[in-house]
Structure 1
Amino acid sequence: MEEFDVVRIVKLLNQKHIIDGDDAIIREPQVGDVGTIVMVYQQGAGYCMECVDDDGWTIWLANFTPEELELIWKSKK
Structure 2
Amino acid sequence: MKISEYDVVRVIAEIPADRIDLSASQGRPQIGDLGAVVLVHTVKPNQEPAFIVECVGSDGHTIWLADILASELERVPSSPGGT
Hey, what's the Cα distance between the residues in 2 that align with 1:46 and 1:57?
23
Greater strand proportion: 1
Q: Which runs of 5+ in 2 are unaligned?
A: 79-83
Percentage of pairs with the same residue? 37
- TM-score (ref. length: structure 1): 0.80
Q: Extract structure 1 runs of 4+ deviating beyond 4 A.
A: none
Q: Which runs of 5+ in 1 are unaligned?
A: none
Paired residues for 1:17-56 under 5 Å = 17-19=19-21, 20-21=23-24, 26-42=26-42, 45-56=49-60
- Computing the radius of gyration over CA atoms, which structure comes out larger, 1 or 2? 2
- 2:4 equivalent among 2, 5, 19: 2
- Give the aligned length: 72
Structure with larger RCO (C-alpha < 8 A, sep 6+): 1
